[in-house]
Amino acid sequence: MTQNDTTTERVAIVTGGSRGIGRETATRLGRDGYAVVINYAGNQAEAEEAVKEVEQAGGRAIAIRADVADETAVASLFDQTEEAFGGVDVIVHAAGIMPLAPLVDLDLAVFDSVVRTNLRGTFVVDQQAARRLRNGGSIINISSSLTKLARPNYSAYAATKGGVEAITLILARELRGRDITVNAVAPGPTATALFFEGKPQELIDRIAAEPPLERLGQPEDISEIVAFLAGPARWINGQVIYANGGSAA
């Protein structure tokens, strides 16, 4: 299938699609007429609510549970998507975790869990996507502007997102001749549960005031960029798009 083929429904898998940026992205793709698979790690109720939101937006949707770092589970996720909708055109890899602590204090078991979910998860999901996306497809990884902003307490998270960007840039070149684009979107501070968790209001207000636009990003700010990369943006490839309202690196 090519981007100009309007007779075949486009199909997207959104990992981490039950909440935050992933959920808003799934709904945005539903408005564009996609069939969307909501991948989730554990909260089935949230995933089913996300399915309803996609359907209300005009798309078809199902929810499938899978650990993004488990290659067998991710292969099954793609199998089930192909069985339900006939193929896969777009993967939006938004699943991730973000425990915060100074490097000197971070428990190595926590560090290993961040690496497993954020970095290994990206590698596993992108590997299946590279093998199975149809022509005209798009792989969109969610990175973070923290790779540039270098904010204290984010060393583990930012390190994994730096790896996500490296995977993205290299995979785009490895897929030469496949008509598949590979890009990353690197949000700045965005008003999601993942961002708000554990932060005092004073810190939230201070971070929100940093960009010239003087506000936090909203999930819909990011979903619009993802939808552009998933659909019409065929000449954007092998790029990291920093979506942070102008926060200085």
Any idea which residues carry the catalytic annotation?
A: 157
Angle, alpha carbons 184-200-187 (nearest 5°): 10
Residue 165 is classified by DSSP as H
Other beta carbons within 10 angstroms of residue 45's beta carbon come to: 10
Contact call for residues 38 and 54 (beta carbons, < 8 A): yes
What HEC string does 170-182 produce?
HHHHHCCCCCCEE
Burial of 70 from C-beta contacts in 10 A (0-12 / 13-18 / 19+): middle
Residue 120 is classified by DSSP as I
Instruction: Sort strands 11-15 and 35-40 into parallel, antiparallel or unpaired.
Output: parallel
Task: Give the pair of three-digit tokens for residue 135.
Answer: 């022509």
> How many whole angstroms separate alpha carbon 59 and alpha carbon 56?
7
| Chain length of the chain | 249
Task: Give the pair of three-digit tokens for residue 92.
Answer: 């939006």
Can you say whether residue 231 is alpha, beta or left, with left for phi > 0 and alpha for psi between -120 and 50 degrees?
alpha
Task: Give the pair of three-digit tokens for residue 39.
Answer: 């991948």
